[in-house]
Structure 1
């Protein structure tokens, strides 16, 4: 949970916890344990690198809500706007121009919102 808070921020994690119900408690626990307790907590890659990989995968797979969330998380991971741009250029070649086009739109809107 500490890693999740460090990457996504307390406000996001607090909202997610407040929205948990008995129906999705097991799912949320699985996410915390596997994604945040294992993958993100491992030091084989830096948080910046993990952030960039995550953004690329979310963009290529069209997971737009998660993409915006992880772009906002770059404020905590050290990935820059330039890093995001380069990752999305890579997505265009290996994941498809339409996926990258949508991801660039989401990234521009999200980064602009972060500047405010």
Structure 2
């Protein structure tokens, strides 16, 4: 990313959980795409979002994943919804869990937001199934 000589414990924890949730390949692509313009932002989200929130011990990764998907859906953050739906293969959240979270979006943030996010989730899960990157309810890879 940027200057790696000043990495903090929170940054290190953030990178570890970010890799665990999003996958090493995604994180490596993001790192390679980082420029001096967005390096401070990348550090901020790695330390704050990943190193503080996602690395916390009060919620499971599955729970954090579902909260994140619901919030992103409510905010209409389409690309991030798809990214975090893909991350469910690493967080333990199932398709049923995601569907239930999106039902909450419908009630608390509006049917149009949920409807759109459901389309994104269906498309993303279908892509994952075609790629063979889904997890079944036992946590095993495959369909």
TM-score by length of 2: 0.81
Distance 2:125 2:26 in 1: 17
- 1:48 aligned to which of 38, 56, 62: 62
Distance 2:45 2:52 in 1: 10
Q: Post-superposition shift, 1:66? A: 0.5
Task: Give the structure with the larger helix fraction.
Answer: 1
TM-score by length of 1: 0.99
Does 2:74 match 1:60?
Answer: yes
Residue ranges of structure 1 left out of the alignment (5+ in a row): none
Residue ranges of structure 2 left out of the alignment (5+ in a row): 1-14, 131-143
User: Where does 1:18-97 land on structure 2 (aligned, <5 Å)?
Assistant: 18-97=32-111
Map of 2:114 onto structure 1: 100
- Pairs aligned (count): 116
The structure, 1 or 2, with the larger RCO (C-alpha pairs under 8 Å, 6+ apart) is 1
- Higher Cα Rg: structure 1 or 2? 2
When the two chains are superposed, the root-mean-square deviation of aligned CA atoms in Å is: 0.4
Q: Post-superposition shift, 1:6? A: 0.2
Q: Post-superposition shift, 1:16? A: 0.4
- 1:10 aligned to which of 2, 18, 24: 24
Distance 1:64 1:43 in 2: 28
